[in-house]
């Protein structure tokens, strides 16, 4: 990359445990995904590999969305003062035009768009994009219980994130021969890019925090890196761990619609990614098993139905190794939230490495939780009354509960969810209300 006429180079690496046939086009796309995190600060993104018209269109859309998310959430609505004061926009500068940035995608080598006439893959094979967090652990457990051929695929970054995933990866590797991982130095690439941005506070970005100064486009990196593995194995469905995020808590910012820094964890993203993969001729769909239920329900089912797997959970990005065990930090917002979710489900946080001090701190730290407002209220209430927090949500894109899932997976999973939830809820004039028209679905699935 060139900054003020000075060339800076970084060798970005993705490494696989199995022999794969990866085209130049797919390899280029894999390497492009991490770069999109920083396009808001770039005039040009130059692709030196051949792309199709569909590739260009999708990459432009990713750049547009990411630029907007970085501008609004990383710069304007920042949770930490990563940026020097002179880099913060004045109120009158917070506009649609400034949010979209000035990045131009340059791609001179063009190839034809792919045909969608592809062979059907084995619908019993399902991949889980695994991390060691509660969502991917629950997804893995439910699929295994209901008879699917499950392929857990982990993303092994070179930094501390891998510690959180390692307990689950080691356990799955012993029990499931389909378990694999993709290694990458993408996190080192992020640090390299951050070091080149002059408007960031050097001391602040070196501190341990529970969010990033810039990078909000991380899940597409994981997904695209795993595409060659999925295609090689004939897997047609890959499930992410994206849980429910309340649209009520996502108002526009200065009139600008955005995804509150979680675009790549929304149904909009999984639908977009699926459509793009299909356009490339890949019979591969991306979805989430837990997208209509809250973290409360995810934790509840994991604790009470899959206790052995629950013990592998590490939802902290600052885990440390102690006496041969991986221990969460107990201090970050993710840890605080996990502790309260476990307590709210009558579980024991000590089982996954939290101390009595961690637990007591979490009990008085509601202001530090990064959960939806209704869920925080539920977790800290003395009397746990059923509400939409304990239910299944029908989101605006849904035609029925879990309609964004492949039918085979929905039919297998819905009876389990119904056992642990309080009903089905839909938005009614901006409020979540129990929706009686789905009673027949509940009765049919429970029978």
Condensed to tens digits (0 to 9), the pLDDT of residues 292-333 reads 999 999 999 999 999 999 999 999 988 998 888 999 999 999
The number of CA neighbours under 13 Å toward the Cβ of 395 is 19
Decide if 75 contacts 88 (C-beta within 8 A).
yes
Q: How many CB atoms lie within 10 A of CB 306?
A: 18
Of 80-94, 119-133, 353-367, 404-418, the one with minimum mean pLDDT is 119-133
Does residue 1 register a pLDDT over 80? no
Burial 331-350 (b: 16+ CB within 10 A, else e): bbbbbbbbbbbbbbbebebe
Condensed to tens digits (0 to 9), the pLDDT of residues 63-100 reads 999 999 999 999 999 888 899 999 999 999 999 999 99
pLDDT of residue 40: 98
- How far is CA 326 from each of CA 170, 174, 214, rounded to the nearest angstrom? 12, 18, 27
Phi/psi of residue 13, nearest 5 degrees: -125, 135
Condensed to tens digits (0 to 9), the pLDDT of residues 221-264 reads 999 999 999 999 999 999 999 999 999 999 999 999 999 999 99
Q: DSSP state, 74?
A: I
Q: How many CB atoms lie within 10 A of CB 314?
A: 25
Q: What is the pTM of this model?
A: 0.94
- How far is CA 274 from each of CA 34, 237, 270, 285, 399, rounded to the nearest angstrom? 19, 10, 6, 5, 18
Q: How far apart are CA 232 and CA 235, in angstroms?
A: 8
Does residue 446 register a pLDDT over 90? no
Of 51-55, 77-81, 412-416, the one with minimum mean pLDDT is 77-81
> What contacts 20, CB < 8 A, 6 or more positions away?
228, 229, 232
Cα 249 off chain centre by? 18
pLDDT of residue 418: 95
Longest Cα pair distance anywhere in the chain, in angstroms? 68
| Structure-token match 């800076």, residue found | 8
Confidence of residue 204 (pLDDT cuts 50, 70, 90): confident
Q: How far apart are CA 443 and CA 372, in angstroms?
A: 29
The overall average pLDDT reported for the chain is: 93
Q: Average pLDDT, stretch 271-282?
A: 95
Q: How far apart are CA 46 and CA 38, in angstroms?
A: 13
Q: How far apart are CA 237 and CA 223, in angstroms?
A: 12
Does residue 57 register a pLDDT over 60? yes
Q: Average pLDDT, stretch 275-289?
A: 95
Greater confidence (203 vs 254) lies with: 254
């Amino acid at each position: 990359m060139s900054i003020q006429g000075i060339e800076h180079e970084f060798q970005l690496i993705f490494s696989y445990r199995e022999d794969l046939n990866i085209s130049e086009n797919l390899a280029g796309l894999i390497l492009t995904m991490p770069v999109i995190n920083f396009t808001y600060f770039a005039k040009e993104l130059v692709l030196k590999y051949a792309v199709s018209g569909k590739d260009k269109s999708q990459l432009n859309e990713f750049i547009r969305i990411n630029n907007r998310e970085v501008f609004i959430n990383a710069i304007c609505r920042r949770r930490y003062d990563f940026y020097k004061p002179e880099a913060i926009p004045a109120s009158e500068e917070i506009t649609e035009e400034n949010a979209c940035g000035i990045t131009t995608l340059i791609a001179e080598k063009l190839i034809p768009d792919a045909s969608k006439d592809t062979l059907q893959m084995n619908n019993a094979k399902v991949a889980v994009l695994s991390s060691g967090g509660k969502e991917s652990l629950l997804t893995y457990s439910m699929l295994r219980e209901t008879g699917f051929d499950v392929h857990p695929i982990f993303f092994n970054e070179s930094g501390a994130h891998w510690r959180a995933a390692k307990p689950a990866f080691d356990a799955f590797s012993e029990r499931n021969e389909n378990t694999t991982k993709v290694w990458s130095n993408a996190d080192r690439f992020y640090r390299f890019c951050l070091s080149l941005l002059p408007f960031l506070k050097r001391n602040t970005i070196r501190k341990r925090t529970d969010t990033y100064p810039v990078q909000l486009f991380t899940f597409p990196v994981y997904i695209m890196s795993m595409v060659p593995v999925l295609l090689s194995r004939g897997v047609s469905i890959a499930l992410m761990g994206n849980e429910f995020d309340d649209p009520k808590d996502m108002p526009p910012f200065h009139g600008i619609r955005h995804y509150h820094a979680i675009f790549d964890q929304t149904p909009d993203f999984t639908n977009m990614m699926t459509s793009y993969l299909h356009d490339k001729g890949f019979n591969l769909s991306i979805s989430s098993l837990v997208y209509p239920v809250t973290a409360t329900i995810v934790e509840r089912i994991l604790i009470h139905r899959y206790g052995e797997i629950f013990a592998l959970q590490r939802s902290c990005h600052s885990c440390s190794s102690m006496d041969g065990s991986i221990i969460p930090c107990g201090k970050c917002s993710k840890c605080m939230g996990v502790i309260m979710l476990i307590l709210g489900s009558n579980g024991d946080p000590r089982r996954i490495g939290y101390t009595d001090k961690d637990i007591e701190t979490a009990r008085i730290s509601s202001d530090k939780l990064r959960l939806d407002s209704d869920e925080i209220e539920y977790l800290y209430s003395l009397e746990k009354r059923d509400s939409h927090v304990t239910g299944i949500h029908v989101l605006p894109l849904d035609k029925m509960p879990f309609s964004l899932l492949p039918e085979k997976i929905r039919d297998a999973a819905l009876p389990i969810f119904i056992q642990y939830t309080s009903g089905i809820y839909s938005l009614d004039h901006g409020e979540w209300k129990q929706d009686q028209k789905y009673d027949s679905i509940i009765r049919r699935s429970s029978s």
